[in-house]
Amino acid sequence: MTAIERLTGVYHADGGLAGELRYGLGKLLGRAHCSLCDLTHGVVREREEWRELVQRLGVPVKLVHLNERDDDIARVSDGSTPCVIAHADGGLRLLLGPAELDACGGDLAAFEHRLRQATELAGLSLG
């Protein structure tokens, strides 16, 4: 099995003050949704349970917004956000897309299970 060097999670929203305000307003109005946000953040800040999960995974996890992606991440995630991408053996692999993240329903145990399952199916291993 090939070891994962790191993971990148891509939110389905822009970063920065304007992007965060647009997303927050859209969420309140029922027009915006990001299932990765539901996993990583509570109402205001990053969830403690998320930080604990990242520790258990044993690999660095970087979270980026749509407007913060580099060209390679944008190419892999185009049309498939939110998502989680593995960096392994010099390449990028989409592990979880929007449908899989939506199916977690904000539940971190379900997310961890799906992530570990997707990792194994891809022939990869976590820390």
Question: pLDDT tens for residues 68-92?
Answer: 999 999 999 999 999 999 999 989 9
For residue 120, give the amino acid letter: E
Record the tokens describing residue 90, joined without a space: 């010099």
Check residue 123 and give its pLDDT: 95
Which of these ranges, 2-6, 39-43, 66-70, has the smallest mean pLDDT? 39-43
The dotted CATH code for 2-125 is 3.40.30
DSSP state of 67: G
What ranges do the domains of the chain cover? 2-125
According to DSSP, residue 125 is labeled: E
